[in-house]
Amino acid sequence: MRKRAILVLENGSTFRGFSFGAESEALGEVCFNTSLTGYQEILTDPSYKKQIVTLTYPMIGNYGVEPLAEQSARIQASGLIVKEYVRIPSNFASKSSLSDYMKEQNIPGLEGIDTRRLVLMLRNEGAMRGGIFPDQTDTSSLVAKVKSIPEMTGLDLAREVTTAKSYKFGDHKSGKLSIAVLDFGVKTGILRLLDQNGFNVTVFPASTRYAELKDQNFDCYFLSNGPGDPEPLDYAIDTARKIIEDGKPVFGICLGHQVLGLASGRKTYKLKFGHRGGNQPVKNLESGRVEITAQNHGFAVEEDKGTSPLALSRVNLNDQTVEGFGDPARKILSIQYHPEACPGPHDAEYLFAKFYEMVKGK
């Protein structure tokens, strides 16, 4: 028999449905993702730390879960909200149902609510704090509990998801370029593609200073994706600024892109409800082509107001926000979206090979 559960938002709205996954409560910023597939990749993406993810696709769980889809060692999202949870997966590669997977890691899910109403509310009012709770009648106390958690603005979450110590990833061979990855919440899919595109990958904690990295004489640097607000990451901004000043090649994605923006004189701001999904159209100003991209971010870099030497290279066609900037001559490449997808389209996967060629000087 299904057990009831409730979503409570900070504006006082409630959504009553049914529990799946762990029968526990979860608190976090409630956001939505429009991807049609990839719920396991979404849940294990460190960029979703302290967020409750609503999936707009109505049926979730039908292909189960399997280890190769994981983007980190565990589920990072605080909770999951869906219209309809499919209890019996049908997929030869499935090792477990989604609900059992979430139970093992004490992550609650909520199904059976009107996700269209919820998403429209988030679009109109913006992403907001919320909580999933076992069904209760006293919602006023739950609203107060939801309001007691910090807002996403001002939170340094990179320290919570980064690796505790440095490690090597992939197949290290002679002849490959050495790259230092600053882990703000890096996805496994990114590390795989760096490895496959000719880099010897070494991953470092987010707070690693440039002096330590410089002594190891890496060919280039990578600033990863991650959760939270980029502005509190003064240690990462300082490292990025010194990488740029030293003239070393650097590639930034998502949070790493925002850190590069702050290091080069731009500012960042919080989007109303963010860009999350596999269908974001981005125009490449260098080629004139449009790429359909995978994105997951709640903050963005402001347009250049004459303070940054890095030229705009890509814009979002939905809202004209900055999606990329850089300087090919100085071998700086910075992208707001996720070229590795996981999940999503592969229109932008070429960027890993492009950065390799930039570093090689071809």
pLDDT tens digits, one per residue of 112-142: 999 999 999 999 999 999 999 998 778 889 9
pLDDT value at 357 more than 80: yes
First-to-last CA distance in the chain?
63
Query: What pLDDT is attached to residue 304?
Result: 83
Residues tagged active-site? 254, 338, 340
Beta-carbon contacts of 101 under 8 Å, excluding residues fewer than 6 positions away, are 21, 40, 65, 75
Regarding pTM above 0.75, the answer is: yes
Kindly compute the dihedral angle of the four CA atoms of residues 187, 205, 150, 74, in this order, to the nearest 10 degrees: 40
Query: What pLDDT is attached to residue 136?
Result: 77
Calculate mean pLDDT across residues 23-29.
Answer: 97
Calculate mean pLDDT across residues 176-183.
Answer: 98
pLDDT value at 222 more than 90: yes
CA distances from 43 to 72, 109, 119 (A): 9, 11, 18
pLDDT tens digits, one per residue of 326-351: 999 999 999 999 999 999 999 999 99
pLDDT value at 362 more than 70: no
177-183 and 199-205 strand pairing: parallel
Based on C-alpha coordinates, what's the Rg of the chain? Answer: 20
Share of the chain above pLDDT 90, in %: 95
Task: Output the DSSP codes for 89-125.
Answer: ---TT--B-HHHHHHHTT-EEEESS-HHHHHHHHHHH
Average pLDDT value for the chain: 96
Structural domains of the chain sorted by starting position, each given as residue range(s) with its CATH number in brackets: 4-147 (3.50.30.20), 158-360 (3.40.50.880)
Whether residue 158 contacts residue 204, with contact meaning beta carbons closer than 8 Å, is answered with no
| Helix H or strand E encompassing 150 | none
